Structure 1
């Protein structure tokens, strides 16, 4: 696992969550900034998945391999799910959905770090 990449993902996720939460608070539908943030976040988690996959192929192993694989798959899919759900709901609840989805990602990343270490 890559410490700086994980930190960047956590910061980006919390920034998108704050932006989307503020938009939901103001009764605003999801905007392009939220979706762009989700795309950047998706790129980051895919990069984290690739780094983790390479580490696994080199022979490094987390404490619980099956749990780690489940978390990494969920983490890689989660921003895309938040994107789709946000697009499906063009009201303030779409922004709230994106915000909540982005608040889950730091938890997943931290759990991945725990399992890897």
Structure 2
């Protein structure tokens, strides 16, 4: 995997998480700008999936193919599920849900890189 891109995805998600937690501390519901920021992180995650698949097609292999693909695809699901949950509730706690969902992304990205590195160690 491309380390710099993974770092960019993780940092972006962490920044959006901080934004969500600050908004929650101020008693705000998820606003349009926060949802757009989630969309940007999701686009980065889709790009990460594309890069991962292109590397696989190019012949590179992770330590565990099934686990690698599960994390790649699973990382795409976290933000939409969190956003659906947050939009169904529309309260201060729904903003916290978005923050927690964003915090899960750097963990997923780190695991993707660990699994990838196991095949190239």
Please report the TM-score for the alignment, with normalisation by the length of structure 1.
0.95
Unaligned residue ranges in structure 1 (runs of 5+)? none
Give RMSD over aligned pairs.
0.9
1:27 maps to 2:27: yes
Post-superposition CA distance 1:22-81 (Å, at most 9, x none): 111121110112101100000000000000001111111100111111111101222222
Aligned length in residues? 117
The runs of 5 or more residues in structure 2 that have no matched partner are none
* TM-score, normalised relative to structure 2: 0.92
Q: Runs of at least 4 residues of structure 1 off by over 6 A?
A: none
Residue 93 (structure 1) aligned with residue 93 (structure 2): yes
Equivalent-residue separation in structure 2 for 1:56 and 1:86 (angstroms): 35
Which residue is 1:81 aligned to? 81
